[in-house]
Amino acid sequence: MAADRVTIGDRVLVGANALIVDFDFHPQTPEGRAEAINAGAAAPIVIADDVFDGYARHEGGHW
């Protein structure tokens, strides 16, 4: 999701269930949320060439 900009380079692999989001969905502080719940901060994301953006979930046991 992009509120501003997400740029993805060449030969980039994105793992299953990974999220690339360039904004907070809402302000971080309770006061900010009380003022404007949808006013999250946004900043561009640049993913360089030859990057793997994976997703890992670990629940107990060993890696």
Q: What confidence tens digit (pLDDT) does each residue in 13-31 have?
A: 988 878 888 877 777 778 8
Partners of 9 in beta bridges: none
> Is it the case that residue 55 has pLDDT exceeding 80?
no
> What is the pTM for the complete model shown?
0.61
- Residue 42 sits at the vertex; the CA angle it makes with 9 and 40, to the nearest 5 degrees, is 145
> Is it the case that residue 39 has pLDDT exceeding 80?
no
Higher-confidence residue: 55 or 21?
Answer: 21
Please report, for residues 22, 24, 33, 51, 60, the alpha-carbon distance to residue 57 in angstroms, rounded to integers and kept in the order given.
Answer: 22, 22, 29, 19, 10
pLDDT of 1 = 74
